[in-house]
Amino acid sequence: MLKKEVEIRWHGRGGQGTITSANMLAEAAYHAGFKGVMSSPAFGAERRGAPVTASTRLAPKPLRCLSQVQFPDIVVIMDDSLVKTAHAVDGIAKGGLVVVNTCQTPRALGLNGDYRVATADATSIAERVGLIVSGALMINTAMLGAVARASGLIDLPHIEMALKSIFSPRAAQKNFESARLTYEHTNCLSCMDEAI
């Protein structure tokens, strides 16, 4: 269990489920025993495909801060095109963690900073599992698996409990399979040496 608060900032595109991912992580953390969980979106004139952000905070005790995360311990990037265009790693804490949905390895991304990097091809896994809603590929639950593997904050059973409380049994099973496969295929640079 955490000894301090962890702040997570999510970067994605409208329609990818970024805000839902932030909410689901908070719920999974609650199932993991965290006393303080919070998730909040950043709304503007978003539309499908436009950059969006969301925040999640996890703590061992109840939270009082409800603002957006500016200096995250973890950055989750749902679309690797946002790594540089959205300045996604700006403000990340020293020794933090960046988790990116990409087919590239952590080294190939070329992110050089005082933080750890993990990558997962959540897009391919979500496509293989068949997570398509209204013609759009949903990678959000797959990325929960990558965050769990890279950070060590939650485990797969916590994700499964959160998904079962949100989705129908059939949909929860499919979404959990996506998270599990992504968990197993997350590539990390030193991410398991020291969990947050």
Q: Domains for the chain: give ranges and CATH numbers.
A: 6-189 (3.40.920.10)
Position 45 scores a pLDDT of: 58
Cα distances (Å, whole numbers) of residue 182 to 6, 8, 134, 140, 193: 22, 19, 22, 11, 19
Position 185 scores a pLDDT of: 95
Position 64 scores a pLDDT of: 76
pLDDT surpassing 60 at residue 196: no
Euclidean distance between CA atoms 48 and 158, whole angstroms: 29
Question: Left if phi > 0, otherwise alpha if psi is -120 to 50, otherwise beta: which for 49?
Answer: left
pLDDT band per the 50, 70, 90 thresholds, residue 68: confident
pLDDT surpassing 90 at residue 171: yes
Looking at residues 103-132, what average pLDDT do you find?
92
pLDDT band per the 50, 70, 90 thresholds, residue 16: confident
Mean pLDDT estimate for the chain: 88
Looking at residues 40-59, what average pLDDT do you find?
79
Position 2 scores a pLDDT of: 61
pLDDT band per the 50, 70, 90 thresholds, residue 193: very low
Q: Which pair of structure tokens corresponds to residue 137?
A: 């590929």
Higher pLDDT, 28 or 137: 28
The three-state DSSP-derived secondary structure of 93-160 is CCCEEEEEECCCCCHHHCCCCCEEEEEECHHHHHHHHCCEECCEECCHHHHHHHHHHHHCCCCHHHHH
Residue with tokens 């959540």: 122
Euclidean distance between CA atoms 151 and 136, whole angstroms: 27
Position 47 scores a pLDDT of: 65
The lowest-confidence range among 39-48, 93-102, 152-161 is: 39-48
